[in-house]
Amino acid sequence: MTGWIDAHHHLWDLGEVHYPWLMARGQARFFGDPAPIQRDYLLSEFRAEAGAEGVTASVHIQVGAEDAMAEARWVQSVAEGAPDWPLPQVVFCDLTAPDLATRLDDFQSLPTVRGVRQIIGRAPGEDAASGTNALLDDPAFAEGLREAGQRGLSFDLQLIPELMEKTARVLEQAPDTRIALCHAGSPHDRSARGITDWADKLRALSALPQVTCKLSGLGMFENGWTGESIRPIVAEVLGQFGADRVMFGSNFPVDKLTSDYATLAGAYRALIPETAQGRVFRDTAAAFYGLER
């Protein structure tokens, strides 16, 4: 791989796969009003935006489809239709399901599947309604993490800072499962105190060698973000994880609500030291998601 790798983005074709959250009208989400992205977002549009900034491969992350296997098969078909654009994917799978082995067998029949994601935390308000935080207390979840790792699958971890220390104790029970921390752990409180608290809690995860961190999704909690406003987050992530355990992701089209791709890429290019850019923008993701195959 010679170009950038976008390690976290989504695609959707509303005529092929149903996304209940995306099609709900008039419902604001923690990241804002989704109305502008309640339309098809296909690989051709993403490639035009990301390719202009030097991206030549990307990782598709599941995005709340009603039928996770239907979404995975559709992404597989998109990848097969664009052989010049490597597109590994991370699928949704309930790691507490009693038929987990069968589900993972089915997903792993698709050559693009590299990992699974089951969201633990999105934002405090939505988490209270969804109850996903309870996964951390379910022994079946820790067992599912181990099963995924034994199969060579990674786990994309989305949570909020308040859950980091508890989650670290769960991850210690699955030390061989590679973890990608989505959105730098969702620092939703952007006050000085909030950033300090996030940084302190993040150490529980950065101390675990199997955890890699994504610089992605930072616009979801700060719609008017600037390069200066995210500078402390970028610096803290690089300081705690090191460039070998950090990868860039756009979180498009969700973060398209707050920025165009060129602005996003330019901000990270300015904030990440040149000596670290090859790893953050390419090498870490290539190794983590098997793009070196």
Tokens of 88: 């590994």
pLDDT digits (tens, 9 = 90+) for 224-249: 999 999 999 999 999 999 999 999 99
The pTM of the full predicted model, rounded to 2 decimals, is 0.96
- Whether 116 contacts 148, CB under 8 Å: yes
Instruction: Give the pLDDT band (50/70/90) at residue 4.
Output: very high
CATH classification (class only), 4-288: alpha beta
User: What residue spans define the domains of the chain?
Assistant: 4-288
pLDDT digits (tens, 9 = 90+) for 263-274: 999 999 999 999
Instruction: Give the pLDDT band (50/70/90) at residue 1.
Output: low
Using CA atoms of 120, 241, 210, 76 in order, give the dihedral in degrees to the nearest 10: 60
Instruction: Give the pLDDT band (50/70/90) at residue 31.
Output: confident
User: Exposure pattern of 135-173 as b/e (b: 16+ CB <10 Å)?
Assistant: bbeeeebbebbbbbbeeebbbbbbbbbbbbebbbebbee
Instruction: Give the pLDDT band (50/70/90) at residue 293.
Output: very low
Identify the sign of the CA torsion 148, 63, 32, 45.
positive
Question: How far from the centroid of its chain's Cα atoms is residue 9's Cα?
Answer: 7
Return contacts of 260-267, CB within 8 angstroms, 24+ apart: 260/49, 261/49, 261/50, 261/52, 261/53, 262/49, 262/52, 262/53, 264/219, 265/4, 265/53, 265/54, 266/53, 266/227, 267/226, 267/227, 267/230
